Amino acid sequence: MMAGDVMTSEFERLRVGLIGANGRWGPIAHIPAIQNLPETELYAVCTAHEETAQAASEKYGVELFYADDTVMNENPQVEAVSVAVRVPAHYELTKNAIESGKHVFCEWPLGANLEEAQQLAYLARKWKVHTMVGLQRRASPTYLRLKELVEEGYVGEILSVNLQQLGGGVLTRTSDRTWQKDVELGANTLTIGFGHAIDALCMIVGEITEVSGKVDTQITQWYETDTQQWVDVTAPDNVMVSGLVESGAVFNANVGVHPYHGSGYRMEIYGRDGTLVVLGTGQGRLKILGGRKDDQELREISIPDRLTWVPDKVQIAGPAYDVGQMWVNFARSIRQGDVSEPGFDHAVRRHMLLDAVQRASDTGQRQQLN
């Protein structure tokens, strides 16, 4: 559901218990959004330790704090739970919340693997709770406008799509950030960087029906600056795939993290009647360029205000912008009894695509998707 240009809410604010108030993503994305939207209230915070939970409650002005998610889930006033922690903990925390009858917004990826995602989606259906997975580009005004332009026929019949997302990253890091080295933990370039990017592509031009390609680990060791040790890395850092989308258009996607000076993000959509390009670097502003067949060059296309429904304070809060858009949709879908999108069933579909990409790489054979 699209909430529209909403700056006030006619609904009672959704009372949210946030798990991960002491992490990296929760404090910069979820908390600024939840606390500054008319649709939501940060009702409680939860971390792994009593002292950090209390510190978070004082920092964010939240009365209730917990060091045990199951205790927080026992509070009937907590209506929805935000799971914004490391991927390996997603399954247990989300499962606990669902089985307590809570609606759940879990960050992406939903699980460390497809099986975990499938089990969580099944539980959500069984308990009849609303769910949201943090594929926030689906609520981004830029991507919403790009989707509209394609649907309005700006490029006509889509012929090909090119996606490139090349980030830069150092070869050294502190030991608290090297847990992602293990591919089995589910947080790497394939699942996160590629997962977000390819989901946006599917949103704009349709689901992928055929894929082939390569998933690879080019940097096989990281250096921990605090322990002064090298650690082995099995997590992939480069994904290169190609295939077909449901309309029959061809696509290729290259998502990678490189030691230095990644060139950023670019997605190009080529059709019989025109071209659309969305580009940006890092966390900077995205912009859409477009040109029809009679235009001499690409020109920037503005994003209408109607696609932004979070207050100014959230719009200027970096990652909280798109996450806030998601929270508006989630809160209003719960209050109105609508289906929340993208929910856990959607997350399963995306996990299935990632598995197909990995199989294509492992076998060297093209994979078909329904």
Q: Are 167 and 266 in contact (CB under 8 A)?
A: no
Domain assignments of the chain as residue spans, ordered by start? 14-137+324-349, 139-303+354-368
- The Cα 267–Cα 279 span in angstroms is 6
Q: What is the pLDDT of residue 277?
A: 98
Q: What is the per-residue pLDDT across 82-134, written as a single tens digit (0 to 9) for each?
A: 999 999 999 999 999 999 999 999 999 999 999 999 999 999 999 999 999 99
Q: For the ranges 3-17, 19-33, 239-253, 257-271, which has the lowest average pLDDT?
A: 3-17
Partnered with residue 289 across adjacent β-strands are 277, 300
- The Cα 139–Cα 189 span in angstroms is 22
Closest CA to 166 of 67, 257, 83: 257
pLDDT at 135 over 80: yes
Query: What is 14-137+324-349's CATH superfamily?
Result: NAD(P)-binding Rossmann-like Domain (3.40.50.720)
Confidence of residue 285 (pLDDT cuts 50, 70, 90): confident
Q: What is the per-residue pLDDT across 341-366, written as a single tens digit (0 to 9) for each?
A: 999 999 999 999 999 999 999 999 99
- The Cα 183–Cα 188 span in angstroms is 7
| Pairing, β 299-301 against β 287-292 | antiparallel
| Pairing, β 64-66 against β 80-83 | unpaired
Q: Are 304 and 15 in contact (CB under 8 A)?
A: no
Q: What is the pLDDT of residue 10?
A: 72
Angle between helices 344-363 and 114-127 (to 10 degrees): 160
pLDDT at 302 over 80: yes
The DSSP letter of residue 76 is T
- The Cα 118–Cα 171 span in angstroms is 34
**What does the pLDDT average to over 66-77?**
98
Round the average pLDDT of the chain to a whole number and report it: 95
Partnered with residue 163 across adjacent β-strands are 253, 267
Q: Are 64 and 90 in contact (CB under 8 A)?
A: no
Q: What is the per-residue pLDDT across 202-217, written as a single tens digit (0 to 9) for each?
A: 999 999 999 999 999 9
Q: Are 80 and 105 in contact (CB under 8 A)?
A: yes
Closest CA to 199 of 287, 300, 104, 322: 322
Structure tokens at 288: 């859409």
Confidence of residue 370 (pLDDT cuts 50, 70, 90): confident
What are the angstrom distances between the C-alpha of 101 and each of 57, 85, 110, 156?
A: 24, 20, 18, 45
Partnered with residue 258 across adjacent β-strands are 168
Please count the CA atoms within 13 angstroms of the CA of 215 that sit on its side-chain side.
24
- The Cα 59–Cα 157 span in angstroms is 52
Task: Tell me which residue has tokens 């719009």.
Answer: 315
The sheet that has 131-133: what strands, in order across it? 64-66, 40-46, 14-19, 80-83, 103-106, 131-133
Contacts of 107 (CB under 8 A, 6+ apart): 25, 83, 84, 85, 87, 90, 133, 134
- The Cα 276–Cα 227 span in angstroms is 47
Q: What is the pLDDT of residue 145?
A: 98
**What does the pLDDT average to over 222-250?**
97
pLDDT at 268 over 70: yes
Q: Does the domain made of 139-303+354-368 have the CATH classification 3.40.190.10?
A: no
